[in-house]
Amino acid sequence: MKVYGSSAIRNVAFVGHGGSGKTSLVDALAWVAGSTRRHGSIRDGTTLTDYSPDEIERQHSISLGVGFADWLDTKINLIDTPGYLDYFGEVVTGLHAADAAVVVVSGTGGVEVGTEKVWEVLDQLHLPRMLFVSLLDKEHADFERAFHDIRAHLTPKVVPVEIPIGEGTGFQGIINLFSGHCHAYRKGATRGENEVVPIPPEYQARYQEYSEYLTEAVASTDDRLIERYLAGEEIPRSEFIGAVKQAMMAGQIVPLFCGSATLTYGLRTLLKKMVELFPSPDETPPVMPSEEAWQLPPLVGRVFKIMSEPHVGDITLFRLFAGEVKNGGEVWNAEHETIEKLNHLSIQQGRERIETDRLSAGDIGSVAKLRDTHTGDTFCQRDRPVRLPPIPLPEPVATAAVMVKQRGDEDRLAAGLHKLHEEDPTFHFEYSSELGQTLIHGMGERHFETVLNRLERKFGVRAELTRPKVAYRETLKGRAEGQGKHKKQTGGRGQYGDCWIRIAPRPRGEGYRFVDRIVGGVIPNKYIPAVDRGIQEAAERGVIAGYPLVDFQAECFDGSYHDVDSSEMSFKMAGILAFRSVASKARPILLEPLLDVEVWAPEESLGDVMGDLSARRGHILGTDRDGRLTRVRSVVPEAEMYRYSTTLHSITHGRGTHRQKFNGYVEAPSEVTARVAEEHQREHIAAT
């Protein structure tokens, strides 16, 4: 495999909404460049970067994929990212490995929610970008509509540099505004072959309009150019292209291209413009920790993806920011302070791995079977350790419980979930001993379906989702006192413990407190801690529905003991009996957990969103504008939020998102208390 220098590398992420044509475009670019052996298709499951059984079956990307295209003696690393928000973490990690992005917009669907979300991340990272209107060969494709949609919903800085000739079944050519050439494509062309022909008369006015729009937009970004433009001077192409690149790097303009991945129309121009306009890695140094921003260490790389391949094991994808690595060489993992050996150093071309002797700064490579390396880890030199800032992955927004369908698979379930977390850091899992459930956290129900499918396919574990239990709490509203007496005689030494306790509520969040009021030695000091332990143990099992009782004070003020039969165990049992006797008289109540829920939704869906939150017993705190969307702030009981992401997706037609975090506990309504207590009673009967 040829080794490319930093100046001959471009790292480009392809982003956009699901179904906009990103994967087909990446596949076609590699094919047109001659870097792959076939032109794949989504329908046949043969594209370069969608090769897992899940992706082939669903016909959309789930994980990011990496390939490359060699064009004009430049290696363009093509990072294909998923479009659906359930896999948005893959988009974020892909963008942190890129220096630029092609935002793909469907010629039939226009700007959609996935396009808007990824645009926000591009703004945060200040990445230069191009836009590409795809699928122009499809029925109902409309370039003009897509252009105006982009200008209205993404950026007013968009500048078309190409306009199509025909659309849908009539799509046959593209006018390039840089060169003024009209490229007519031959039917049956397989690699974007075309010939330059005169601009059709009916397109002359349109060409003139867009050409002037482009020239004025570019010239206005440079004082010298605008003077020459206003003076009527013609600007040479080489100078014009340089001005476009400079303006694009500064975020002043976003060029708009068009074409069809299926027909390979417009792809040669896109390849050329990615080389000409996008920055090379040596023009975009990495974001370093502040104390080291002044000097780039001799070796810096970051792991941005781990994949598990059958018969190979873990494949680690990494971006090299500085320095050079060689096949068989060693690097220092700064996070885990361990040496890793880079055996079988490779370049990814979809699922294929092409071994290489070395990689230059700026390139993207892969290596198999590292011992202790995870997504986000930094590679460096041991004597010059450095840690790149962590990749800000999106927080999980959905929770479900998962259980195996076949007993005995619990250990394999845990091992499989751990492996899937390694591949996808936006997926988390935990075992809750309090609830007795394995909980999984992720980006939505579609995300969970993928997890279950991979569990069965990769690890042979058949599992199903169930509703997660809610971690209710119990507390007291009143005061009470009473006795707990444990007396047992079974021959030989008996058991005797006797205590009197008072219990009372404490302010919310202040926890449990034990007070020793024993005087006169009616209970020896050595036994009093046992009473405390007994009360705490009994409180863990609650009074109403078996949930821990919190925020109360227990005062031990009287009792008696036996010289021979008393023991710590006896007084612990006395404490348990005293709690059971007294707590039920102190007006116990059920507490339910609340969540702070923020929802972002378009204006037209606002009424339905707030109505749904209210129906979930939510309290609306207020609304405010946040960019193109409206944010709704609310507090909702946790018990009412199961599968909310699916409902929100339906209400907002995929444009809504939400975020939630724990708020606190409040007294549950009487009907909720009755239902939870009844469910607990049924479970208790079933268990016995």
Residue 476 CB neighbours (<10 A): 24
Predicted confidence at residue 655, as pLDDT, reads 80
**Are 202 and 294 within one domain?**
no
> Among residues 125, 134, 6, which one has the least CA distance to residue 77?
6
Predicted confidence at residue 616, as pLDDT, reads 97
Question: Please, which pLDDT band fits residue 687 given cuts at 50, 70 and 90?
Answer: confident
**Are 232 and 313 within one domain?**
no
Q: Give the pLDDT confidence of 36-57 residue by residue, as tens digits.
A: 999 999 999 999 999 999 999 9
Domain interval for residue 79: 8-278
Q: Give the pLDDT confidence of 120-150 residue by residue, as tens digits.
A: 999 999 999 999 999 999 999 999 999 999 9
Task: Report the percentage of the chain scoring pLDDT > 90.
Answer: 82
**Are 600 and 637 within one domain?**
yes
Q: What is the mean pLDDT of residues 424-433?
A: 94
> Among residues 659, 4, 676, which one has the least CA distance to residue 320?
4
Task: Take residue 459 and report the two structure tokens written for it.
Answer: 């690890």
**Are 185 and 86 within one domain?**
yes
Q: What is the mean pLDDT of residues 258-271?
A: 97
Query: For residue 635, what is the domain's CATH number?
Result: 3.30.70.240
Q: Is residue 684 part of a domain?
A: no
Cα torsion 268, 271, 272, 275 to 10°: value is: -170
The Cα 291–Cα 293 span in angstroms is: 6
Whether residue 619 is predicted with pLDDT greater than 70 in this model: the reply is yes
Q: What is the mean pLDDT of residues 526-537?
A: 97
Whether residue 657 is predicted with pLDDT greater than 90 in this model: the reply is no
Predicted confidence at residue 470, as pLDDT, reads 95
Q: Give the pLDDT confidence of 351-408 residue by residue, as tens digits.
A: 999 999 999 999 999 999 898 999 999 999 999 999 999 999 998 989 999 999 999 9
Q: Give the global pTM.
A: 0.88
Q: Which string of DSSP letters, residue by residue, matches 235-289?
A: PPHHHHHHHHHHHHHTTS-EEEEE-BTTTTBTHHHHHHHHHHHSPPGGGS-----
Query: For residue 345, what is the domain's CATH number?
Result: 2.40.30.10
Q: Is residue 49 part of a domain?
A: yes
**Are 64 and 198 within one domain?**
yes
**Are 273 and 294 within one domain?**
no
Predicted confidence at residue 223, as pLDDT, reads 83
Q: Is residue 681 part of a domain?
A: no
* Domain end position, chosen among 551, 586, 621: 586
Query: For residue 417, what is the domain's CATH number?
Result: 3.30.70.870
**Residue 547 carries which DSSP code?**
P
Q: Is residue 502 part of a domain?
A: yes
Question: Please, which pLDDT band fits residue 190 given cuts at 50, 70 and 90?
Answer: confident
Predicted confidence at residue 629, as pLDDT, reads 84
Query: For residue 513, what is the domain's CATH number?
Result: 3.30.230.10
Predicted confidence at residue 290, as pLDDT, reads 58
Q: Is residue 459 part of a domain?
A: yes
**Are 41 and 146 within one domain?**
yes
Query: For residue 166, what is the domain's CATH number?
Result: 3.40.50.300
Q: Is residue 386 part of a domain?
A: no
Predicted confidence at residue 287, as pLDDT, reads 67
Distance spanning both ends of the chain, measured CA to CA: 67
Q: What is the mean pLDDT of residues 535-556?
A: 96
Q: Give the pLDDT confidence of 54-87 residue by residue, as tens digits.
A: 999 999 999 999 999 999 999 999 999 999 889 9
How are beta strands 9-15 and 74-80 bridged, if at all?
parallel
Q: Is residue 204 part of a domain?
A: yes
**Are 91 and 145 within one domain?**
yes
Question: Please, which pLDDT band fits residue 189 given cuts at 50, 70 and 90?
Answer: confident
The Cα 204–Cα 208 span in angstroms is: 6
**263 close to 189: Cβ distance less than 8 angstroms:** yes
Q: Is residue 433 part of a domain?
A: yes
Q: What is the mean pLDDT of residues 659-664?
A: 92
Predicted confidence at residue 205, as pLDDT, reads 95
Mean pLDDT across the chain, nearest whole number? 93
Q: Give the pLDDT confidence of 275-313 residue by residue, as tens digits.
A: 999 999 999 877 666 555 557 789 999 999 999 887 778
**Are 137 and 184 within one domain?**
yes
**Are 306 and 253 within one domain?**
no
Whether residue 501 is predicted with pLDDT greater than 90 in this model: the reply is yes
Whether residue 654 is predicted with pLDDT greater than 90 in this model: the reply is no
Q: What is the mean pLDDT of residues 618-622?
A: 97
Name which residue leads in pLDDT, 239 or 177.
177
Total structural domains in the chain? 5
Q: What is the mean pLDDT of residues 475-497?
A: 91
**173 close to 194: Cβ distance less than 8 angstroms:** yes
Predicted confidence at residue 499, as pLDDT, reads 97
Residues of 216-249 as b/e, b for ≥16 C-beta within 10 angstroms? ebbbebbeebeeebeeeeeeeeeebeebbbebbb
* Domain end position, chosen among 586, 601, 628: 586
Predicted confidence at residue 6, as pLDDT, reads 96
**247 close to 218: Cβ distance less than 8 angstroms:** yes
**Are 363 and 424 within one domain?**
no
Predicted confidence at residue 400, as pLDDT, reads 95
Predicted confidence at residue 291, as pLDDT, reads 52
Backbone angles phi, psi at 458, to 5 degrees: -90, -30
**Are 38 and 60 within one domain?**
yes
- Find tokens 């790149």 and name the residue: 388
